[in-house]
């Protein structure tokens, strides 16, 4: 995981928790919520895109031959691994290490 | 000078009318009803430009007020008792989103058993909700504080909701002479609200977004700061209001405290009775005084320390009970305020008037005598006295 970035203090934040910049949710990275991370085995992935359809956080990135995971936003819910149809699975959940 | 006969509720409604409020969303409940009834008449008769939103509950009333306030509108609502309890969730949202809503509260007991009469248990139960709380003694104060409440709430350093509390029935329904300002004078005093943010499709903002452990605490700290700014801002609001009305307000009002050895500290209409009794006792040479708080939240700690410096005994009157707590809410705050002082009065608590039970001058005299006895002996006989309850 990335070292924690310096966050603004109460004196500089807008009053009432208002978000003044539209479309700024991309700046709020939720990847550090993960306890397990999905890992794609590129050799097994058939690029069926079921994980891309099911991912509730749009954290699966499409590629030419196989998918990748955007770890900035992947919360580690494991739906992609559960839905992965290949046998054995191309996506497996691996415990995060500090 | 124009004196108009008005009940406390009517005085609040009239002040709101003169404050040129954009939106009122409220639900009627005894003993607040006249506030919204009278105001809806102003709307129906075309005397105000206000939009009156009829809602199906107090929860919806305050929800509508929050939405309206966030658009930059000046907003008023009013409630009491169960209505305030139903608003409870939204009280925190109004303060957390920094909505400078003003609310009239005709204080009333909470069920069960059901009771429509006045005590402070409704607002005392909401004392940590981030609302500024003002308690008034009579209809004149209800009028004056309602106008000043808008100026305080909307100040850039405050931006918090403010409740103006008046004792149910004793003040809400009592007809008194109220010295009112000209409409133009109120308009000059209040001017237009300058909101923090405006609604602009070209510059969209988000309010009420999720705030997790990494940010929530900072926004609560901002609210603490805003509360701490209240006494300073209130000072200038009171000063300006005093310059146009000749009526001086502050965070508290004292009587006889220059030389008092024993005193009563209380909120609201009881202060009038306490002052009358204190005057009589002082004529008999007894050194008694009265401290009446106008401002309960934020709690005027420094002013209470200053006012009670020479005191030997202080009786704190709570018109609400705090089950399982060492004292009623007001007394707990007073004890907390004084505990840092090496020389401080002996404090005892008097819980009174629950469910609207009347407090007579003889009851107040009993409390003064008890305080005088405590000042002489230096010993509190009973930390919490339940005044006038049958055994």
B17-72 residue pLDDT tens: 999 999 999 999 999 999 999 999 999 999 999 999 999 999 999 999 999 999 99
Residue of A nearest to B100 (CA): A16
Per-domain residue ranges for chain A?
A: 42-98
Candidates B94, B155, B219, partner chain A, best to mutate (most A CBs within 10 A): B219
Min Cα distance A19 → chain B (Å) is 5
The whole-number pLDDT of residue A4 equals: 59
In sequence order, the β-bridge partners of residue B134 are B164, B295
Strand duo B23-26 + B75-79: pairing:
parallel
pLDDT exceeds cutoff 70 at A90: yes
Residue contact A17–B225, C-beta within 8 A: no
pLDDT in tens, B360-376: 999 999 999 999 999 99
The whole-number pLDDT of residue B65 equals: 98
Min Cα distance B212 → chain A (Å) is 11
Question: Helix or strand or coil: residue B255?
Answer: strand
Strand duo B162-167 + B252-255: pairing:
unpaired
DSSP letter string, B8-62: HHHHHHHHHHHTT-SEEEE---TTTHHHHHHHHHHHHTTS--PEEEE-SSHHHHH
Instruction: Identify the contact set of chain B against chain A, taking CB-CB distances under 8 A.
Output: 96-99, 159, 196-197, 203-209, 211, 214-215, 218-219, 221-222, 225
- A-chain residues within 8 Å CB-CB of B211? 17
Q: What is the mean pLDDT of residues B264-286?
A: 98
Q: What is the mean pLDDT of residues B285-314?
A: 97
Q: What is the mean pLDDT of residues B197-215?
A: 91
**Cα–Cα dist B34/B96, whole Å:** 29
Give the architecture (CATH level 2) of B252-386.
Answer: 3-Layer(aba) Sandwich (3.40)
Min Cα distance B205 → chain A (Å) is 5
**Cα–Cα dist B234/B66, whole Å:** 23
CATH of domain A42-98: 3.30.70.20
pLDDT confidence band for A36 (50 / 70 / 90) = very high
- A-chain residues within 8 Å CB-CB of B206? 18-19, 22
Please list the residue range(s) of chain B that carry CATH number 3.40.50.920: 252-386
Residues, chain A, total? 98
The whole-number pLDDT of residue B129 equals: 98
Residue contact B219–A18, C-beta within 8 A: no
Residue of B nearest to A6 (CA): B214
How far from the centroid of its chain's Cα atoms is residue B71's Cα? Answer: 26
- A-chain residues within 8 Å CB-CB of B204? 22
Q: Percent of chain B at pLDDT above 90?
A: 98
First-residue to last-residue Cα distance in chain A? 7
How far from the centroid of its chain's Cα atoms is residue B181's Cα? Answer: 22
Closest CA to B56 of B80, B33, B25, B30: B25
Min Cα distance B208 → chain A (Å) is 7
pLDDT exceeds cutoff 90 at B344: yes
Q: Which two tokens stand for residue B56?
A: 């199906």
- Residue B170 in contact with residue B138, Cβ under 8 Å? no
pLDDT confidence band for B83 (50 / 70 / 90) = very high
Residue contact B196–A16, C-beta within 8 A: yes
**Residue for token digits 């506030």?**
B35
Residue contact B209–A17, C-beta within 8 A: yes
List Cβ neighbours of B307 (8 Å cut-off, separation of 6 or more). B252, B254, B257, B291
pLDDT confidence band for A41 (50 / 70 / 90) = very high
**Cα–Cα dist B298/B187, whole Å:** 27
Residue contact A10–B211, C-beta within 8 A: no
Q: What is the mean pLDDT of residues A43-61?
A: 97
pLDDT exceeds cutoff 50 at B290: yes
CATH superfamily of B2-245: Thiamin diphosphate (ThDP)-binding fold, Pyr/PP domains (3.40.50.970)
Please list the residue range(s) of chain B that carry CATH number 3.40.50.970: 2-245
Residue contact B206–A16, C-beta within 8 A: no
Among A27-31, A70-74, B191-195, B233-237, where is mean pLDDT lowest?
Answer: A27-31
Instruction: Identify the contact set of chain A against chain B, taking CB-CB distances under 8 A.
Output: 7-10, 13, 15-20, 22
H or E segment to which residue B122 belongs = helix B121-124
- A-chain residues within 8 Å CB-CB of B207? 16-19
- B-chain residues within 8 Å CB-CB of A13? 215, 218-219, 222
The whole-number pLDDT of residue A1 equals: 47
**Cα–Cα dist B271/B267, whole Å:** 6
- What's chain A's Rg over C-alpha atoms? 16
Burial A6-39 (b: 16+ CB within 10 A, else e): eeeebeebbbbbbbeeeeeeeeeeebeebeebbe
Residue contact A15–B96, C-beta within 8 A: no
Residue of A nearest to B207 (CA): A18
Nearest to B204 among A10, A15, A22 (CB): A22
pLDDT exceeds cutoff 80 at B152: yes
Q: How many CB pairs under 8 A join A and B?
A: 49
Nearest to B219 among A7, A17, A22 (CB): A17
- B-chain residues within 8 Å CB-CB of A8? 218
Min Cα distance A6 → chain B (Å) is 11
Could you report the predicted ipTM of this complex, rounded to two decimals?
A: 0.90
Mean pLDDT, chain B, whole residue set: 97
pLDDT exceeds cutoff 90 at A35: yes
């Amino acid at each position: 995981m990335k070292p924690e970035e310096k966050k603004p203090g109460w004196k500089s934040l807008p009053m009432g928790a208002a978000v003044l910049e539209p479309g700024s949710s991309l700046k709020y990275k939720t990847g550090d919520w993960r306890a397990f991370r999905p890992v794609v085995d590129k050799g097994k992935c058939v690029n069926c895109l079921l994980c891309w359809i099911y991912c509730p956080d749009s954290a699966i990135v499409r590629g030419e031959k196989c998918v990748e995971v955007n770890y900035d936003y992947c919360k580690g819910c494991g739906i992609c691994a559960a839905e992965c149809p290949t046998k054995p699975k191309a996506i497996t959940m691996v415990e995060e290490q500090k | 000078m124009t004196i108009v006969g008005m009940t406390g509720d009517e005085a609040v409604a009239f002040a709101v009318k003169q404050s040129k409020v954009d939106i009122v969303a409220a639900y009627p409940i005894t003993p607040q009803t006249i506030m919204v009834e009278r105001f809806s008449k102003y709307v129906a008769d075309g005397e105000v430009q206000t939009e009156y939103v009829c809602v199906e509950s107090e929860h919806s009333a305050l929800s509508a007020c929050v939405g309206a306030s966030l658009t930059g509108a000046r907003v008023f609502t009013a409630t009491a008792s169960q209505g305030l309890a139903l608003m409870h969730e939204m009280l925190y949202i109004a303060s957390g989103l920094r909505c400078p809503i003003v609310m009239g509260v005709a204080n009333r007991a909470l069920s069960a058993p059901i009771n429509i009469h006045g005590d402070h248990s409704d607002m005392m139960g909401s004392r940590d909700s981030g609302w500024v709380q003002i308690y008034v003694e009579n209809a004149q104060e209800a009028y004056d504080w309602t106008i000043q409440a808008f100026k305080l709430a909307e100040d850039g350093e405050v931006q918090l909701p403010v409740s103006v509390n008046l004792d149910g029935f004793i003040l809400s329904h009592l007809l008194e002479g109220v010295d009112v300002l000209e409409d133009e004078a109120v308009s000059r005093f209040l001017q237009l609200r300058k909101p923090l943010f405006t609604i602009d499709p070209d510059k969209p903002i988000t309010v009420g977004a999720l705030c997790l452990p990494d940010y929530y605490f900072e926004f609560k700290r901002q609210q603490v700061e805003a509360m701490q700014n209240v006494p300073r801002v209130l000072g200038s609001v009171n000063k300006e209001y005093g310059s146009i009305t000749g009526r001086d307000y502050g965070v508290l009002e004292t009587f006889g405290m220059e030389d008092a050895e024993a005193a009563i500290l209380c909120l609201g209409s009881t202060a009038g009775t306490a002052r009358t009794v204190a005057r009589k006792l002082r004529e008999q040479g007894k050194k008694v005084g009265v401290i009446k708080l106008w401002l309960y939240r934020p709690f005027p700690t420094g002013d209470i320390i200053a006012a009670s410096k020479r005191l030997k005994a202080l009786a704190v009157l709570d018109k609400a009970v705090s089950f399982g707590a060492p004292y009623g809410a007001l007394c707990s705050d007073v004890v907390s305020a004084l505990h840092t002082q090496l020389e401080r009065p002996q404090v005892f608590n008097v819980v009174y008037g629950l469910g609207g039970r009347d407090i007579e001058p003889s009851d107040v005299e009993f409390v003064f005598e008890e305080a005088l006895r405590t000042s002489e002996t230096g010993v509190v006989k009973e930390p919490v006295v339940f005044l006038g309850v049958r055994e």
